[in-house]
Amino acid sequence: MNILHKAKDYVEILFKDKLSSVYFYHNFIHTTYTVNKAEEIMRNTPVSKEDQEKVLLALWFHDTGYVECAQDHEEKGVLILTDFLKQENYPENYIEDVSKLILATKITYEPQNLLEKIVKDADCSHFASHDYNDISDALRKEWELTNVRCFSNDEWNAGNLEMLKDKHHYYTDYAKENWEPLKKKNIKKIEKKLEKEEDKKENADNKKEPKEPKSDRSVDTLFRVTLNNHTRLSDIADSKANILLSVNAIIISVCLSVLVPKLDTPKNAHLIIPSFILLTSSVLTIIFAILSTKPNVTKTNFTAQDIADRKVNLLFFGNFHQMLFNEYHDAMKDLIKDRDYIYDSMVKDLYFLGKVLDRKYKLLSVTYKIFMAGIIISVLSFAYAFLSL
């Protein structure tokens, strides 16, 4: 397996098993994003294959230190990378080169060469993202939950403006040409936000009417980011299951077309049991892979009184599909007016999505174990069958 594929799998499992759920920004999604952006830069920048590998390895591991704590996470990431590459028998000088690139991601570090510039630009590529507001909100929520600091809207927007406008700039020619204009658009959006906040403050004293309570932006971000993470995890699980389905379908088709027709002759009798084991393990793997991707929709029966008492989650189709449109329309109008009711419904959605994810990953884990065990036992069986002749 390619070292970059190994690194990706290693970091994905590390984050899944050890990274706290409060890291809404510094997680596997951000890591994958920076790797993709580095690849984008290097497709348009002359970089040797070996140096490309070093850059991508550094970015896969640059935030792994967060599994321990945020402070000095770059140094902790270097230690994790060093253990990983030593197990892969990489030389010390190579490990040192990649480690320097991880340390170059420190926010205050000034890059000294092209590879460090690529790493820095990839790590800050979200400044030019169309989703910058959502990404920024995820970081804000992470800092609040990890007790770094809580910000007011004005403080947060002003801090973002200072970072993008005064403290940060891109280093590579590609980023300067392609990302700088997008970053400037995000700067203008932040400036407009600050102007609106100023206008609200000026008009606040003239408004005596009581305002309706507004939703807490941090809570909205929490639901949005968590739901997005749930969806991505579900997509990852389905993708892994589809890979196993394809591989085992090929194994079965090859066995049925090439191997099985030859088993009816006495000289091939010793291959019957190994072939049966291989086919059985492939069939079991396909069955469990299908079960892991099989939709599992819970449907609830409820009465009109349950709707009136707000015991029904109107955001889930398994509930409202049996309602008449007029009933659903009226119930949704009541839900929209009640913030607590909205949040309760979203909490139910997240909870049951989590239950579905738990089932998917448990079945997927069993599927991989069956596949691995089946391949190993089949190979050993074929070897024993040939050696016993």
Question: What pLDDT was estimated at residue 307?
Answer: 59
Q: Are 189 and 133 in contact (CB under 8 A)?
A: yes
Question: What pLDDT was estimated at residue 321?
Answer: 63
Residue 146 lies in a domain: yes
- DSSP state letter for 45: S
Clarify whether residues 70 and 26 are in a common domain: yes
Q: Are 157 and 190 in contact (CB under 8 A)?
A: yes
Report the alpha-carbon distance of residue 264 to residue 211 in Å, rounded: 83
Clarify whether residues 174 and 256 are in a common domain: no
Decide: residue 249, CB within 10 A, 0-12 exposed, 13-18 middle, 19+ buried.
middle
Clarify whether residues 37 and 183 are in a common domain: yes
Closest-CA residue to 37 (of 166, 167, 135, 158): 135
Q: Are 284 and 373 in contact (CB under 8 A)?
A: no
The neighbour count for residue 28, using CB atoms within 10 Å, is 22
Q: Are 375 and 271 in contact (CB under 8 A)?
A: no
* Run of H or E residues at 65: none
Clarify whether residues 88 and 191 are in a common domain: yes
The neighbour count for residue 218, using CB atoms within 10 Å, is 14
Residue 266 lies in a domain: yes
Clarify whether residues 221 and 184 are in a common domain: no
Mean pLDDT of each 10-residue bin along the chain, 389 residues long: 88 91 89 94 93 94 90 91 92 93 91 93 91 88 82 85 88 93 90 82 62 61 75 80 86 81 74 83 88 67 59 60 68 70 74 79 87 88 80
Residue 123 lies in a domain: yes
Question: What pLDDT was estimated at residue 28?
Answer: 92
Residue 211 lies in a domain: no
CATH number at residue 159: 1.10.3210.10
Clarify whether residues 252 and 320 are in a common domain: yes
Clarify whether residues 303 and 364 are in a common domain: yes
* Run of H or E residues at 272: helix 272-293
Clarify whether residues 194 and 227 are in a common domain: no
Question: What pLDDT was estimated at residue 221?
Answer: 77
Residue 320 lies in a domain: yes
Residue span of the structural domain in which 235 resides = 217-387
Report the alpha-carbon distance of residue 20 to residue 22 in Å, rounded: 5
Clarify whether residues 197 and 231 are in a common domain: no
Q: Which two tokens stand for residue 12?
A: 């994905």
- DSSP state letter for 169: -
Q: Are 219 and 226 in contact (CB under 8 A)?
A: no
Clarify whether residues 140 and 172 are in a common domain: yes
Question: What pLDDT was estimated at residue 205?
Answer: 58
Question: What pLDDT was estimated at residue 152?
Answer: 83
* Run of H or E residues at 196: helix 180-204
Domain boundary residue, one of 204, 231, 250? 204
Clarify whether residues 255 and 179 are in a common domain: no
Residue 210 lies in a domain: no
- Output the pTM of the full model: 0.53
Closest-CA residue to 229 (of 80, 87, 357): 357
Residue 209 lies in a domain: no
Report the alpha-carbon distance of residue 240 to residue 284 in Å, rounded: 16
Question: What pLDDT was estimated at residue 364?
Answer: 85
Look-up: residue for tokens 């069986």?
A: 381
Clarify whether residues 231 and 133 are in a common domain: no
Domain count, the chain: 2
Domain boundary residue, one of 172, 204, 236? 204
